[in-house]
Structures are given as C-alpha cells and as structure tokens.
Structure 1
Amino acid sequence: MDIPAFGNRFASELPEMAVAWKGAAFADPSMLVLDDALAVELGFDPAWLRSAEGVRMLIGTDAPAGTTPVAQAYAGHQFGGYSPRLGDGRALLVGEFTTPDGELKDLHLKGSGRTPFSRGGDGFAAVGPMLREYIVSRAMHALGIPTTRSLAVVATGQKVRREENLPGAVLARVAASHLRVGSFQYARATGDSALLKRLADHAIDRHHPVAREAVRPYQRLFELVVVSQAELVVKWMLAGFIHGVMNTDNMTISGETIDYGPCAFLDVFDPATVYSSIDSGGRYAYGNQPPVAQWNLARLAESMLPLFDDDQEKAIELATESLGLFGPAYDAAWIAGMRAKLGLSDDISDKEVKSLSEDLLVHLRDRRADYTSSFRDLEKSVTDEGWLARWRSKNPDKDKANQVNPIYIPRNHLVEEALADPSKLEDLLTAIDQPFTERPGLERYAEPAPESFRNCYQTFCGT
C-alpha cells in the first residue's frame, strides 16, 4: 500500500468549524525534502510520496480517497488581543489517517493557498520558513519534546511576494490533531452549547479518553490539558527553546508543540531573551513562557465554563481549582528535569536540586554563557568553584546527564546557514537527529554562535 487509509473525522463531526476547500494549483511543484523514516513510520511509501501523484497530495491539489480537505475555524488571543475569527488562512487539514501502530494522525498543509480565513493574506508560504519548521520540529522530536512533525517540504515553483520575491513552498506536517485553545474559544463564541460539547467530546476521544471516566469529564479534560501543557513548557525551558508566538491559537489540546514561526534556541542564557521581530514588548520572551502558558489555559477555562457546571459561579470555582494544577505540575516537572540535567540521583532532595539549579542559572546569566554547551560540560563551563564543589559533593553521574543534555541542537546560526544554502541542510539534520551522541566530524555543530551573530540575531514570522 502506498499510503494509509484516510478519513474525514473532524470535517464530519464538527462541520460548523470546517470549510471544505482545496489547495491552489501550482504549475511546477517538486520535492525539496522528505523525512523518509517518518514516512515509513506513518505508513507511507517514500517513493510514492516523491512521485508526481504523491507531490500533488502533499500540496493539496489532489486529496486522498475518503477525505474532505478543510480549512479549520478557530479564534485566538494574539499578543493578548482577542480575534473572534482566525482560522486556517493558508492551511488545509487534508484528513486523518491511522498509522501502522494504530495511532490516529492529521495530515495538514501550510502554504497551500488562500482560504475563506485568509483575510488580507495571499495564503502562500516561502521556502525559508517552511524549512525552518521542518528543521526545528525534527530536532524537537529527537530531543524528546512533544511536537507536530514535518513530513515534507515541497517547492511550488512560483514566487511569493514578501519584502521581495521569494521561492514558494508547502509544508506537510502530521500531528495528533490540530485542536487548539482557539478552537474552544471559537466554539464558545458561537453561543452554540451543543457545538462546544461536541468539540470537547471530540477532544476527549482523540487525546484524553481517561477523562470520560471522571465524575466531571469536561473538567477532567481541562485538567489533563493543563498538566500536559505545563510539562511541555518545562521541556521547552530545559532545552532552551523559545516558541516566539504563544498565541492561544498556537496552543494544542494534545500537548504538542505547534507552529514554528519566529522560534529559536537560546545562545547565551538570559531569561529576557526575545528573538522574534514582532515581539517588541517581550511578551513571549524565554522566561515568560510559563506564565503565558498559564494565561492561555485560563482562556481555555473561560471557553469551557458552560461544560463545568450550569451554575456559573460554581463553574468558575471548579475552573480556578483546576487551573491551579499548573504550578505544581510545572514545578514537579522542572525539578525532575533539572535533576536529570545535573546528573543527580533521586536521593538528593528536591530542595537541594532547586537550590543548585537556580544558583547555576544565575551564574550562567551573569557570565552570558552558552546555555547548551554549559550543561553539556559543567566542569569546563562553570567558573564558580563554590558551586562546583557543592555539585560534586552530590556525586553526579555525568554520563547519565549527557543522555539528556544535547551536544547538537539547531543552533540559530546553523539554521540560518542551511536556509541560505540548502546543500548544508543534510549535515545539519545528521547532527540534530542524534542530539545526545557526540560524533567525529560534527564539531562545528556543537560550537556556540559567533558573538557577532548573537548580538544582532532576529527571527521573523514568515507570513
């Protein structure tokens, strides 16, 4: 079989949130990059995906049998401002398919052309931002961070007008689903309580079926999303990842990282770090990611209130109680993560792990030390002998620490290099596919960015 069997579950179960649509007809599409291993894992024949027929599917021109490709409707808070109608302005949900392991996945396209949600946009995407998502999402998966995954980037053969004419592309990605906090905001804004309930049931069935067994299943669904997001953001923080645009339409119900726009990884450690050119106020700075995530979840709670209880005051009380799970879940995951990064055993108290971690981060910030390199080799990076003595006294297991502290990440200067010269893409992918294993010949992929680069680096949304 060339491809798995497809269905149209979202389109059929939630038609009020789906507009049937088709990708633009591109004259000369061609495969730029395909993740062969991921294709096989998902049940696709890589050779078929590279064929003319496969490429047409990956840009949205041809739909697999059994699907109803749709542009999804959702709302969202963008940089704190509420927009009641956003939706897929340059994207299509092709449909859902079941992998050989029995998992239900979405196939979703970005850059496939205008939709009814495009507003003033052209619906297209340039090669650079689509390759960025391909690179970074692949690295995130290799790092063990829940993420949507990029299957392919296809060149469209036409130019996209931004500040200049750029080559166009479509990104094909897969995800547990594309349900977002903004999906619930949209359903709530319609005033259709039955739609809101069907959306919640759909989310429970796809992501959190254990919630169905709870006395209050919708409150339990919310709690499970709260905990999964707390644990996700901890993984971002531990890896030094900055999402860059944590709007509510970019927060999934599944707990996967989604929408790699102006994302980047820390070079020097500084909680105030912002790379995104559009984040002038620093709302989504590295250190702000945990409180922003909790703020976004409060917006989800507001959207779900009618499902918690018919009495609004009681519903607010339940929502507040459940939202309170974020802090403890975050703290527990952060302590566990730092324990691993420092190579400390379970015998070391949480209090000691917390103290060592916080003091280390202050030291790294004050020294403007490279975040990734410092954790990979604390003996070499830390100049505070008092801290080193405290850490050594805990008998850290450095080999165990190296299993969670990467030596290779998609460093910003290397990503920009690969985007400018695609011939360097494969070597970068080779490094980041095994981020914890040091290998000869890849030394440059472990080196910090030049200071001249670090001092002026910015990322752009690419829309």
Structure 2
Amino acid sequence: MSTLIPPAANSDLGWQIEHTYAQLPATLFAASRPVPVRDPHVSILNHRLAERLGLNLAGATPETLATLFAGNQLPSNFQPIAQAYAGHQFGGFTMLGDGRAILLCEHRTPAGDLVDIQLKGAGRTKFSRGGDGRAALGPMLREYVISEAMVALGIPTTQSLAVVTTGEPVYRQLVRKGAILVRVAASHIRVGTFQYVAATRDQASLQLLADYAIQRHYPEIANTPDKYREFLRAVIDRQASLIAKWQAVGFIHGVMNTDNMAISGETIDYGPCAFMNSYDPGTVFSSIDHAGRYAYGNQPQIAIWNLARFAETLLPLFATDSDQAIAIATEILRESPAVFERHWLAAMRRKLGLQTQEADDLELLQSLLDWMQQTGADYTNTWRDLSMGVMPTGENYSEPAFAELYAQWQERLSRETEPRAAIYAAMQSVNPAYIPRNHRVEEALTAAEESDDLLPLQRLLEVLQHPFDEVAASAPYREPPPESECNYQTFCGT
C-alpha cells in the first residue's frame, strides 16, 4: 500500500466535493491513496473542461497543479478509493477492479452534474493483480486527444482534465516515460461493476447498486413501476445511441470488454482505439484482437452481447421466480437489435441528408457502403465530399458505379422538403472534415514522448476542436495515411 500523502496546502480551486459512491457496500471499493511520484510536471491541461467544471485553476501555480494531479498532495476532504468490478475480456470472465486507477472524489459542477474525478496510472491498489499500477505518457496523451475529438464530434465520452508526467520510467515492451491522466466521467459504473456484485450473490448489494445507478443516471425512472426492467431498457437505448454515433464516424473502440461499457452511456477506456480510413467492416487496429472480435462491423453485436451479460446480473431484481426473471430479460433483449438498427439508421440517414424515412433507404445506404468497400474509398472523406453540394471528382468517383449511386441518391433527395442548400449544410454538420487520423495522432505522440515537443499535439487538438469547419490551412489533416502506413496497429498500453 502507498505511504500517507499530506493534504495540499492550497486546495481551494472550487471543488464541490461529494462521496456518494463510498456510501455503497464496502465490497464495491477499497480505500486506496495514490502512490507519490518523484518529479511531477503538468504536460497538458484542459482549461475548457476546467471552466465547465467550475474549477479555478488560474490561481494555482504549475507546481501546485502538478502535485495535485499526480496525487502527491490531495485536499483533506478527498477520500480516494479504487473501485471493484469484473469483466468478460475477449469473452472470458475475470474478477477485476481498478488496478491502476483511483477515484479521488465526486465533484458537483455549476450545472448541477455530479462527475467522478479519477487518476489513471496513480500506482498499485488492492486490485492490481501484480501490475505496477502505472501508465505511460503516450497512451495517456492518446486518451486525451481522442476523448477531446469525441466531445467535438458530439459523442458521449469521458474526458481528460490533465496529463501529468511523473519523472519516473515505466517498463512495457520498452522503457517509457511515466504519466498520470486525470479523467472526468459521469461515473465509472460499468457492466462489469454489476457483474462483480452478481458474482458475490449478494442480492442486497446488487439492489443498492442498481438503485444508485438509476438515481444517478436515469432519475426519470426511479419511481416508475418495474423500474429495473426500465433500467435495462434505458441502458440498452443509450448504448445503442452511442454505438450508432461510433459507427457513423468510423470509430473503433478496440477492446469492448464488459468492464469497458459504462452504464452512463459514455465512451470509456481509450486503449487500442482508432478511426477507420478505407471503409471495411472487418477493420481491426488492436494488436491483441487476432480474431477480429472487436472489429468495426462487430461493434453493435458485441454491445448487444455485453448487454445480455448486464441483463443476467439484474435477473434477481426482475422477479423472485428464476424462470419468470429469465423470460422478462429475454423479452427485453429481443427488442435490442431493433433498437440498435433504429439508432444506426437514424444516424446514417442524417449523413445522407435524409430527414424523412422510406423503405428503400437501407438499400441505398448499403449500396454506398458496398461501393466504398469495393473501391477502398476513405470513409470520412467520402461522406464529406457528398456533403459539398456538387458531384465529387477524383479517381474513385469517376467510375460508372458511383455515378449511378449518386443519381439514385439525388433522386431520393428530390423527395425531401428542405431546400438543397439546407440539406447540404445539415450534412456538413454531421459529416466531419477532420477526425484524429491515426498517423497524425502517432506523429504527435512520438514528438511528445521522444522530444518533449507538444506543438504537433497542440496543432492537432486545435484542428479537432472544430471537426465540421473546413479551413484551407488544415487541409493536410484531411489526408489519409500514406500507403506504407496502412497496416497501422494500436496497443493497449497497460
């Protein structure tokens, strides 16, 4: 366990501290203080997020912020804990927990939202299972960049408040610079959290956890009849909406284990994630996903599989009779594929500029996706090109098959009531010009890790803050990677 850490001398940054999760049964967490680091320095600080949180960081020195966000000195009213959870990792069930993350506190924002403030890479905990509890700079900066991009794209996500270097090495395949990420989340309750409690067969704790999650994330159903059934339906709906948004921008999470599915409906745990370039449903970037379990095209089905595991944990709350409880869960789960398709079709219709619904829309959409796959067209750029109001030009677009597709789409648009200018403007608001291109992300991370040069990272973040606003100076950030970099792989970083 870590040594005692003195409270911060100047901790009045505007914290509005609560510790509601720590009021749940003690089996759900363990007191765990961050392990002090040798020489903390703030690498990057999210001022926009700090302002939304109501934190006054301007009055604090860099040294104060570094020692705070490294966990070396904490305000006296923080009660740090590591959370327990389980998870199906690539299909295999394991009892887990925060092995390198520590929840410092919950903070009430000026808007009234309750959010978790967590340190990732803060040292060993009760749940570390032999790991060192640390994190490397590159993966922590990756999470910062991708989560900021997701915010700008309008996709629910955890966010990064800061990345702090530790002045200590971490040992992975290579010796890496150590770092700690300050993560902000609606909560860190996962499908795996419910799996952990269900595995203990403690029904009283399961009900307390469910009631807590409902009150925190779905208060509108807290007083409804059959609230646990409605809880499952609500989580399914949020996950369906989230995955549809991932699919719409070509985002691949890379490790959709049940412990990486947040009950709140936020994207969480950016490990081997990346954005697709050429359209291919079988696209996998993760170096450990050899069978393609978490490929782009599999993400909706994997989400439904994860939600079935969630439903299993809730069975004792549906009915006292097990057969009746299973029947209830089965009925709700049978609805989930249709829920996912509804959210996906809605997202894809918006990308096509369609506000009305026709039976043949799916066929038109699938024909376009098939054309993209057959020609190796860039997913992001194709959608953006279609949004510009003129027939795109270029090698792929010169094929007769595309001309036929384009004509079919234009004929479909003719039955929309909105003026074409409004349709194309709406398309440009959902089809980004800029995503975190994998080669650009790696370029920025390499400069930061190897040369302490954060300028490429800052430039990338500036572009990603406005993904739908195309400007000439940012044109290079639209370019797909060179052919030599098309076999890109990502790594978990743990």
TM-score bin (small chain): over 0.9
Q: Secondary structure at the match of 1:269?
A: coil
The residue aligned with 2:261 is 251
Q: Secondary structure at the match of 1:436?
A: coil
The residue aligned with 1:366 is 374
The residue aligned with 2:297 is 287
How does 1:319-338 map onto structure 2 within 5 Å?
Answer: 319-338=329-348
Name the TM-score, length of structure 2 as normaliser.
0.91
Q: Report whether the alignment pairs 1:123 with 2:155.
A: no
The one of 225, 229, 236 aligned to 1:226? 236
Q: Secondary structure at the match of 2:299?
A: helix
Q: Report whether the alignment pairs 1:211 with 2:221.
A: yes
**Does the 8 A contact of 2:122 with 2:180 survive in 1?**
yes
The one of 393, 398, 417 aligned to 2:443? 417
Residues 225 and 49 of structure 1: CA distance in aligned 2, closer, same or farther (over 3 Å): farther
Residues 118 and 50 of structure 1: CA distance in aligned 2, closer, same or farther (over 3 Å): farther
The one of 115, 119, 143 aligned to 2:153? 143
The superposition leaves residues 17-59 of structure 1 with CA deviations (integer Å, 9 ceiling, x where unpaired) of 1100111111110000011011111011232565323322212
The superposition leaves residues 311-357 of structure 1 with CA deviations (integer Å, 9 ceiling, x where unpaired) of 111101111111223222211111211111111232xx342321211
Q: Secondary structure at the match of 1:324?
A: helix
The one of 69, 76, 87 aligned to 2:80? 69
The one of 186, 191, 194 aligned to 1:176? 186
Residues 260 and 49 of structure 1: CA distance in aligned 2, closer, same or farther (over 3 Å): farther
Alpha-carbon distance in 2 for matches of 1:174, 1:333: 26
Q: Secondary structure at the match of 1:325?
A: helix
Letter in 1 for 2:78: T
Q: Report whether the alignment pairs 1:12 with 2:30.
A: no
**Does the 8 A contact of 1:49 with 1:55 survive in 2?**
no
Q: Secondary structure at the match of 1:219?
A: helix
**Does the 8 A contact of 2:435 with 2:467 survive in 1?**
yes
Letter in 1 for 2:483: E
Alpha-carbon distance in 1 for matches of 2:379, 2:480: 9
**Does the 8 A contact of 2:41 with 2:62 survive in 1?**
no
Alpha-carbon distance in 2 for matches of 1:351, 1:135: 39
**Does the 8 A contact of 2:170 with 2:178 survive in 1?**
yes
Unmatched runs of 5 consecutive residues or more in structure 1: none
Residues 439 and 355 of structure 1: CA distance in aligned 2, closer, same or farther (over 3 Å): same
**Does the 8 A contact of 1:181 with 1:300 survive in 2?**
yes
How does 1:9-408 map onto structure 2 within 5 Å?
Answer: 9-48=20-59, 51-83=62-94, 85-346=95-356, 349-378=357-386, 379-380=391-392, 382=397, 383=399, 384-393=402-411, 394-395=413-414, 397-408=423-434
The residue aligned with 2:7 is none
Alpha-carbon distance in 1 for matches of 2:120, 2:127: 13
**Does the 8 A contact of 2:42 with 2:65 survive in 1?**
no
Alpha-carbon distance in 2 for matches of 1:239, 1:49: 38
Q: Secondary structure at the match of 2:194?
A: helix
**Does the 8 A contact of 1:74 with 1:182 survive in 2?**
yes
Please report how far the alpha carbon of residue 147 of structure 1 lies from its aligned counterpart in structure 2 after TM superposition. 0.4
Q: Report whether the alignment pairs 1:458 with 2:493.
A: no
If you compute each CA radius of gyration, which structure gives the higher value, 1 or 2? Answer: 2
**Does the 8 A contact of 1:147 with 1:256 survive in 2?**
yes
RMSD: 1.3
**Does the 8 A contact of 1:138 with 1:149 survive in 2?**
yes
Alpha-carbon distance in 2 for matches of 1:201, 1:153: 33
**Does the 8 A contact of 2:439 with 2:481 survive in 1?**
yes
Unmatched runs of 5 consecutive residues or more in structure 2: 1-11, 415-419, 448-453
Identity of aligned residues (%): 49
The superposition leaves residues 104-162 of structure 1 with CA deviations (integer Å, 9 ceiling, x where unpaired) of 00001111111111112111000000000000000001100000011110001111111
Residues 49 and 273 of structure 1: CA distance in aligned 2, closer, same or farther (over 3 Å): farther
Aligned length: 459
Alpha-carbon distance in 2 for matches of 1:276, 1:49: 39
The one of 440, 465, 471 aligned to 1:433? 465
Flag as ranges the 4+ runs of structure 1 deviating above 6 A: none
**Does the 8 A contact of 1:211 with 1:220 survive in 2?**
yes
**Does the 8 A contact of 1:241 with 1:266 survive in 2?**
yes
Please report how far the alpha carbon of residue 89 of structure 1 lies from its aligned counterpart in structure 2 after TM superposition. 0.4
